[in-house]
Structure 1
C-alpha cells in the first residue's frame, strides 16, 4: 500500500456488475441503486415486492410526534385560490411606521393652526421680531428724514 490519502489510484480499476448479479441483488453497485431499477435493467418478468422504507429520524423524533410550525413546508398558493377580499395583516414595524406618520401629520396640522406649545412660542418670537423690525425701520426713516433735512438746510 502506498502512503497518502488514497489506498490506490482513485481512477484505477473499476468493477462492473453483470445483469445477473444485479437481479440477484449481489452486485457491488452503490447502495443508492434500488432493486426496482435493477429489474428495469434486466427486464425480467419476476415481480418482487419492494417495501418503502420509512424516513429515518434523528434522536427521539421517531418516538414523539412534534408539531413544529417552523418545520412546515411552504405551501404555494395558486392565483385562482387567492382570497382578494381578505385584508393583509401588517407587521408590527409597518403598523408602528404608519402610526408614526399619522401622528406627525396630526402634529403638523395643529402646528399650522397654532394650537401646540411650540407653535405658540414661535408666534411669540415672530411677534417680537416683527416689533423689532418695525422699530428699526421707523428709526431708519427718521434718520433718513433728518439727513435730508440737513441737506436741505445746507443748500439754502
Structure 2
C-alpha cells in the first residue's frame, strides 16, 4: 500500500518498436518536439533554397518565408549602408521639430520688427522712453537752476 500523495511511475502498456519498423522508419512511436522542429527547419531551408535560386529575397524568420504577409503596420528595417545613403534626399522633420523651427523663425521676425520700431510694443516702449528722457532733461534743468540760484545767494552774502 502506497503512502502519501504520489504513487511513483505510471503503469500501463508501453509500446516498443520492432527492429523492422525502426529500419523502415514507420515507427508508431511519437516523435519528440525537437525532432519535428528539425525536420520542419530542413523543409523550410529546402523551400528557401529553391526560392533563393529563383529570385533573391531577404531572409525571413519562422513561417514568414512560407506565408506572404502584407502588413502595413509591420516595421521595415531602416538600417542603410554608407554606400547606399542618398545625400541629396532630405529627411522629413517631425511635427515637434517643424513647430520648434517655426517658433524660432517667428521670434526672429518679431525681434527684427521690434528693432525697427514697427510693433505695438516697440511704439509703447519708444513713447515711454521719450517721456522719461523729457522728465530727466527737465530735472537736470531744474537742478542747474537751483545750483545757479545757490551760487548767486553765496555771492550776494559775501558782498
**Cα deviations by residue, 1:121-147 (Å, 9 ceiling, x for unpaired):** 111111111100000010011111111
Aligned length: 120
1:35 and 1:112 map into 2 onto residues whose CA distance is 79
1:121 is matched with which residue?
124
Distance 1:102-1:37 versus aligned 2 partners, 3 A rule: closer
1:136 aligns with 2:144: no
**Which residue does the alignment assign to 1:34?**
35
Whether the aligned pair in 2 keeps the contact of 1:114 and 1:120 (CA below 8 Å) is yes
The residue that corresponds to 1:81 in the other structure is 84
For residue 68 of structure 1, give the secondary structure of its aligned residue in structure 2: coil
Gaps (5+ residues) in structure 1?
A: 8-19, 39-49, 57-61
Q: TM-score, with normalisation over the residues of structure 1?
A: 0.61
Residue 2 (structure 1) shift: 6.4
Deviation for aligned residue 1:51: 3.6
Distance across 2 between alignment mates of 1:107 and 1:153 = 60
Q: How big is the shift at 1:88?
A: 1.2
Q: Which has the higher contact order (CA 8 A, sep 6+)?
A: 1
**TM-score with structure 2 length normalisation?**
0.60
Q: Where does residue 110 of structure 1 map in the other structure?
A: 113
Comparing both structures, which one devotes a greater share of its residues to helix? 2
Residue 90 (structure 1) aligns with: 93
